[in-house]
Structures are given as structure tokens and as C-alpha cells.
Chains A and B, each alone.
Chain A
Amino acid sequence: MNKTMINRVIRKIQRYKGWFGGAAALCMMAGLYVGLLASPPDYYQGEVARIMYVHVPLAHTSLLAYTVLFGGSIWYLWKRDPLVDNMCHAAAGLTALFTLLALLTGMIWGKPTWNAWWTWDARLTSFIVLLLITIGYLMLRTFIDDPEREARYAAVLAIVGFVDLPIVHFSVEWWRTLHQPQSISMRGVSISSGLLIPLMLMSVGMSLLFSYMLMVRTQMLYLVNLLDAKKGRLLSQFHLSKAES
């Protein structure tokens, strides 16, 4: 991407991000209303199961965020767009955030239903590995000074981690598993529509929220880079003029 392209993209983000934020708020408010007040409690788990409307969308969104990070990393290694790298950086932070929240809500749900905060189940373990990878990713970025190298190394880590996750999942699945099977899968839907509608609303809302946060954060990181570059130029100009006089 050249400079005018980047400017166009940034301006587009500036213009449309509000729509995403607004739509996310609407979807999630509707979803929370239907989920917490209008829908019936779960037959087996009672009121406790209502945390599902937050937990499941959070988990979906963290996977969505990591997929965006993976796609962006491949794109970066291919085209070397600094803006794409900003997006990856933003997506990594959001992946860590959503994964952490999914794990915490899962723990809160796990205590009354499984009588354990934590268990070494396939999905829990792959999520904690996901969290560790994204935290490692963010740490790695702070330890490299050269921005080009930082972007390149981070992209490599993100790609290797993405390939690793399914293998982690299967290895732990063979090892031991307790998690309830997904309610919505390729084989069809095993959940009543009264519970499905709020779940869908929340999932869509959470994804929109993620897109909104991704846009804001990408824009911010881009501007910070721009500012750093400008600061560097001004400082070097200042030193040059001092050397001349």
C-alpha cells in the first residue's frame, strides 16, 4: 500500500467505525435483554446457564480475533504493509483480552456446574495456550527496537502459534476431556430456539464490538507510529541546525 492508499483506509475507518460500535451496542443490549430476562432458564442448569450468553460469544470472538491476526500476519509477510502490522498488533491485544475474559467467565460457569474452577480439558487448555501465545507475542514486540524486525518476528510467531493450536486441542482431547460438547456445530443445532436467538445476537454483537475495537486500536497504533516518525525527524533536524550554527 502506498501513502494515499493508507490515508484512504484510515479515513474510511474514521468515518465508519462509529457504525460498528453502534451496531455492536444495539445487538448486545438486545441480546442481553432476551438472554437475561425474556428467555427461559436452562432445564438442567437453571439460571446459572445464562452466563453462556457472555461466555460463548467471548470465546468465539477470541478465535475470530486470532484468525484475523493469523491472516494479517501472512499478509504482512507477503506484502510488508506497515498498516497491516498495526492491525496485527491491535488484533493480538484484543485476542489476549477476549481470551482472558472467556477463561474467566468459563471459570465462573465451571464452579457451579462442574464443581471446579479449572480442569485440564481440551478447550480450556487450548485457550490457556492461546492466551500464553498472545501474551508472548505482545512481550516479544516490546523487546525489539527495530519496527520492521518487530513486525516480521511477531508475524512469524503468530503463524506458528496458529498452526499449533489445533494440535494442542487434539492432544489434550485424547488426554482427557470434560467440557460439554458444542451446541452449534456442523452436525446441526442442539439448543432450543429460545436460547439460540440471544446467543446469536450476543455473538454477532461481540464480533461487531471486536471490529470496532480493532479499528480504533489500529488507527491509534498507526497514529502513534506516525508521531514517532515525526518526532524523530524533528529531533534530527534540530540537531542538524544546532551543528550548523
Chain B
Amino acid sequence: MGFFKIMQWVVWKDLLTEWRSRETMSSMFFFALIVILVFSFSFSMDQQAAQELIAGIIWVAFAFTGMIGLGKSFAVELQDDCLNYLQGCPGSKGALYLGKVTANFAFMFAVEVILFPMFIVLFNLNVIEEFHILLLIFLMATMGLSAVGTLFSALTVQIRAREVMLPILLLPLVVPVMIAAVEATKGALSGDSFALYRQWLELLAIFDAVFMVVSFWMFEFIMDE
């Protein structure tokens, strides 16, 4: 099978299992909802304070939600020895990685797109003009999270205490994504001119490019049994 064929099959398989079980997306969604609720109880926010804090809250909720999706991404392959068959798959392991990244990205991005209107409603946000830029920020930051996250999902799946180790290893590494995403979102939500927060989008682009390449390369060593 060719490179893109393998990638296509992995994506298709993940989307199909998700469509049938609806396990990952629903757990991500409800977890994120609870995070939002906890935040709105812990800070008593008026609209002024909400404008200040909302970018951080959005990205904490998205990052934690992403952890759940990423953790499940390879954990489901443990059932019925699927992981062994994936590892035995002929051809490039990189195709496997890109397929998994695409699927994880799709899940995370879908959940974000569903959740964001809730943020708008619950925190009385005003985003009509900046919507396309926000979408771009979400796209790029989610790309970065899933690029590194998929690698670490594969790395932690076969070790003890994997539920704990994934966030412990992953969160320090995605500090740049978090900073850039929060700052850019804050800029977009408060209606600053694009030039003021363009640098954060550039940082996200650099992070995405670097870690797609590095993780693509490192994935071979993780899967090499």
C-alpha cells in the first residue's frame, strides 16, 4: 500500500469507530462542559472580567479536553491487540502517524467548534467580526497540540500509569502553543488590529511546522518493536 493509502485507511478507521461508538467525542465534550462550569463558578465574573480571562479559560478547557482525546487515541488500539497489527503494518510508520494526527485533529477541532458557541453564550462574548481569525487560531493551535500529542499518546500507551504520564510529559512541551493561542485569542476577542497579534500566529506556524517534522521522524522509533 502506498503512503497516502495507509494514511487514508487509518483516518477512515478512526472516524468510523468514533462514529459507531461516539465514545471519544462525547467524553471530550462533556468534560469540557464541566471545565467551563467549574471556571464560571470559581471566578465570579462580570462582563469586564470575562473579557480579560476568557482566552485563558478557553484554552485551558481545550487543552484538557484534548488530553482526553489524545489519551484515547492509542489506548483503544490496545483492545484485541490492534496496536501490534498497526506496528506490523508494512510501509512507512510515518503514514500511520499522519493518519492518527489527522483523526485526532478532527476530533479536537470538532469539539472546539461545538464548544465555542457555548463560551459565546455563557460569557456574553462579542465575536461576530473576528470569527474567521479565531477559526484560524483554533486551527493552528489544535494542529500543534495534536502533532506533539499524537506522538506522546503513542509513547505513553504501553507504559504503566499512562493516564498520568501523558499530561505530565505533554503539557510542559506545549507551553508555546498555549501562550501563543491565549494571546492571539485575547487579541482577536478584544478587537485589536490584526497586526498586533500576528506574531503569535507566526509562532504557532513555526511550532506546527517544527513539531510535525520532528514527531513524524520520532514516531518511527516509538513504533519500532
Task: Kindly supply a per-residue 1/0 record for chain A positions 129-143, scoring 1 wherever the CB is within 8 Å of any chain B CB and 0 otherwise.
Answer: 100110010011001
A152-B221, A153-B159 known; A139+B165 contact, CB < 8 A:
yes
* Cβ-defined contact, B210 with A163, below 8 A: yes
* Interface residue ranges, B against A (CB under 8 Å): 148, 151, 155, 158-161, 165, 168-169, 172-173, 175-176, 179-180, 183, 199-200, 203, 206-207, 210-211, 214-215, 218, 221-222, 224
The answer to whether A44 has its CB under 8 Å from any CB of chain B is no
* Cβ-defined contact, A163 with B175, below 8 A: no
* Cβ-defined contact, A140 with B159, below 8 A: yes
* Cβ-defined contact, B169 with A140, below 8 A: yes
* Cβ-defined contact, A156 with B206, below 8 A: no
* Cβ-defined contact, B175 with A171, below 8 A: yes
A143-B159, A167-B207 known; A157+B169 contact, CB < 8 A:
yes
The CA-CA distance from A156 to B93 in the complex, in Å, is: 15
Which residue on chain A has the smallest CB distance to residue B224?
A152
A77-B221, A143-B159, A156-B155 known; A129+B214 contact, CB < 8 A:
no
* Interface residue ranges, A against B (CB under 8 Å): 77, 125, 129, 132-133, 136, 139-140, 143-145, 149, 152-153, 155-157, 159-161, 163-164, 167-168, 170-172, 174-175
The CA-CA distance from A172 to B178 in the complex, in Å, is: 11
The CA-CA distance from A77 to B220 in the complex, in Å, is: 11
The CA-CA distance from A86 to B65 in the complex, in Å, is: 36
* Cβ-defined contact, B221 with A172, below 8 A: no
A133-B172, A139-B168 known; A171+B159 contact, CB < 8 A:
no
